[in-house]
Amino acid sequence: MTLDVLSIVAHPDDTELTCAGTVIKMAEAGYKVGVLDLTAGESGTRGNARLREREAAKASKVMGLAWRGNLGLPDAALEDRREYKLKMAQKIRDLRPRTVILPYWKGRHPDHTTTGRIGYEACFLAGLTRLPLEGKPHRPHKIIYATQYVPAVRPTFVVDITAQLEKKLKAIYCFGSQFSPAKEFENLFPSRADWRERVTSLARHFGHMIGARYGEPFVTREVARVDDIVEMPVRSI
């Protein structure tokens, strides 16, 4: 299978929480979109690997994914190891995505930041001819970083997900194992109702930046090319 977009994340539900609106929007536009979860989330405080696998399958249907896979790397133990990068690089060769979405390279959870770093290197390694990998070399045309939960970082661009917000919430709700009971409040495991408030308030914040109701932010390392300065979106004043 050849994908147009591949989101590479550390855990099942990471894509849903950070960039599901954009993933859904691309799928609705007719692109083939996939998710590669590096771990099964087996070290998480709530749920277990089998349960989260079933939850991920449900969320995949909601998002309209063409493919979803799990690399089976150790949860809470992702490291900068060559064997991990080569496994990721092989999947990139197999799927040949044009655009890859990675977690931002700085954050609270070590697995997320490690995924952002080694994911970039895997994209590079996938294009080298003489590595011990099967298939033809391939490098994604574009690598973008999801910064939904890194609000201090100014986005390079924001995707309008106003039409996709409800479906994004539905995908998040598939991971019921990660919610607290309504009467219980925990910062890391909020209730279903509180998740809605968190997701919509963040999306409203980023949507406001581009004159939309809801948005998802991304960062690129490189400067964007603009050929037509008359048709550039988002007003300056």
Angstrom distance (rounded) from CA 234 to CA 142? 22
Does residue 237 fall inside a structural domain?
Answer: no
Does residue 228 fall inside a structural domain?
Answer: no
Does residue 143 fall inside a structural domain?
Answer: yes
Please report the pLDDT score of residue 65 as a whole number: 98
Span 149-176, pLDDT tens digits? 887 899 999 999 999 999 999 999 999 8
166: helix, strand or coil: helix
State mean pLDDT over 203-226: 96
Does residue 9 fall inside a structural domain?
Answer: yes
Per-residue pLDDT band for 55 (boundaries 50, 70, 90) equals: very high
What is the length of the chain?
Answer: 237
Full residue range of the structural domain in which residue 101 is found: 5-219
Angstrom distance (rounded) from CA 30 to CA 126? 26
State mean pLDDT over 213-231: 94
Q: What is the CATH number of the domain that holds 53?
A: 3.40.50.10320
Please report the pLDDT score of residue 229 as a whole number: 79
Angstrom distance (rounded) from CA 50 to CA 54? 6
Span 95-144, pLDDT tens digits? 999 999 999 999 889 999 999 999 999 999 999 999 999 999 999 999 99
CB 36 within 8 A of CB 132: no
Span 177-205, pLDDT tens digits? 887 665 555 555 566 678 889 899 999 99
How many domains, the chain?
Answer: 1
Does residue 229 fall inside a structural domain?
Answer: no
Quickly tell me which residue has 């479906």 as its tokens.
167
Contacts of 20 (CB under 8 A, 6+ apart): 59, 63, 164, 167, 168, 171, 172
Please report the pLDDT score of residue 178 as a whole number: 80
| % of the chain beyond a pLDDT of 90 | 78
